[in-house]
Copies of this chain bind each other. A is one copy, B any other.
Amino acid sequence: MARFLQKKEGTIGQVPGDLVFIGEQKVAEATIRVIDYDQEQLSDQHLQDIKEGLIYKDRSTVTWININGLHDTKLIRELGTGFGLHALVLEDIVNTGQRPRMEEYDEYLFFALKMMRYDEETGKVRSEQLSMVLGKTFLLTFQEQPGDVFEPVRERIRKQRGRIRKVGIDYLAYALLDTIVDNYLFIIERLGERIEEIEDKILDNPSQEVLASINNYKREMNYLRKTIRPAREFILHLSRLDSDLLQEKTLPFLKDLLDLSNQAVDVIDSYRDMLSDHLNIYNTQISNRLNEIMKVLTIFSAIFIPLTFIAGIYGTNFENVPELHFRYSYFIMWGVMIVVAGFMLRFFRRKCWL
């Protein structure tokens, strides 16, 4: 399966708005968790049946319903009908190959984006689709599997830290988006550290492993870029949105979030440039190495080939080779050889090859 694009086969011409789960099923059974709170009270429960969740729709409290597991299209549909979601929104929720984006509907906003995880062992970034529906008093989130980056936000809700219990549902949505983008930056930074470390290795020892890791980071940076850039776009759009669903006082936070995502995109581009530079330097080092090897070979060959030739001459078995009979010819031969070798060495020194 191509990682940069989810498999679409079999879905061509599918009825738009039809609920067909596209992706890899990562959890056996979908689970539903509802956190409902206002300034005074808080309830946090796991539901067996989504019908119990529908009562929260028109309550004035802040309600966050989180679904883990997207393959249960029946559940998604029930929820969608209950909360009045458009068929296209439901289709997008169960299609994990969505491009990060926002859709504006009258009664709610829909976001699709990616949560990311850096797998230290394979050196690959894994992503999981997260869909959010932000209504007047409810926030629905849809994940592919349990385990997310939202625990600190839940902690803040439970412990009443910060303003989160005092302000509305839009702030909760912001807090989740903020956590996700923070996590992007964290992943970029972990990759970035490794990328910056490579630099010294390239000049010292341009091994095959260094090449493989440059290649790996290039691919991962491309992947991050492809995922984060559209997210940045919709956050920009969100921060300028004039909607009843967003309170005035949440705007500074959205601008802060926009800045964070701008930074993410900037840094990714910096690292991409840096990796291209690394590859260029690596190539140059390989050429330098080749030159060094060739110098050694050339020096050896060029010095000994003429000497061996001279020895060869006097190894011939001609009857009449006058030099063979002179008393000191052997020593003269050695002398000539030393002179020739010395001349060669000087020539190479002049060429800066030694």
Contact = CB atoms under 8 A, between A and B. Distances in A.
Interface of A: 1-9, 11-18, 86, 88, 92, 99, 101, 103, 105, 149-153, 155-156, 161-164, 174-175, 178-179, 182-183, 185-186, 188-189, 192-193, 195-196, 199, 203, 205, 208, 211-212, 215, 218-219, 222-223, 226, 230, 252-253, 255-256, 259, 262-263, 266-267, 270-271, 273-274, 277, 279-298, 300-302, 304-309, 311-325, 327-330, 333, 351-353
Contact of A186 (B9, B178, B324): B9
Contacts of A318: 314, 323-324, 329-330, 333
Nearest to A296: B298
B306 A305 contact: no
Contacts of A262: 99, 230
Given A281-B215, A286-B287, A226 B266 contact: yes
Contact of A290 (B152, B186, B195, B290): B290
A88 B255 CA distance: 10
Chain copies in complex: 5
Contact of A311 (B273, B301, B315, B320): B315
A354 to B, nearest CB: 12
11 contacts: A12-B183, A15-B161, A101-B259, A199-B215, A203-B208, A230-B266, A301-B301, A304-B309, A314-B316, A317-B324, A320-B329
Nearest to A155: B13
B320 A196 contact: no
Q: Among A203, A212, A312, which residue has the most Cβ atoms of chain B within 10 A?
A: A312
Nearest to A99: B263
Given A88-B252, A99-B263, 19 more contacts: A5-B263, A8-B185, A9-B189, A12-B183, A13-B150, A15-B164, A16-B178, A16-B256, A17-B162, A92-B256, A103-B255, A105-B252, A218-B277, A290-B291, A296-B298, A307-B312, A311-B312, A311-B315, A318-B324
A300 B302 CA distance: 6
Contacts of A92: 256
Contacts of A211: 203, 281, 284-285, 288
B352 A205 contact: yes
A32 to B, nearest CB: 22
Given A253-B88, A308-B312, A189 B266 contact: no
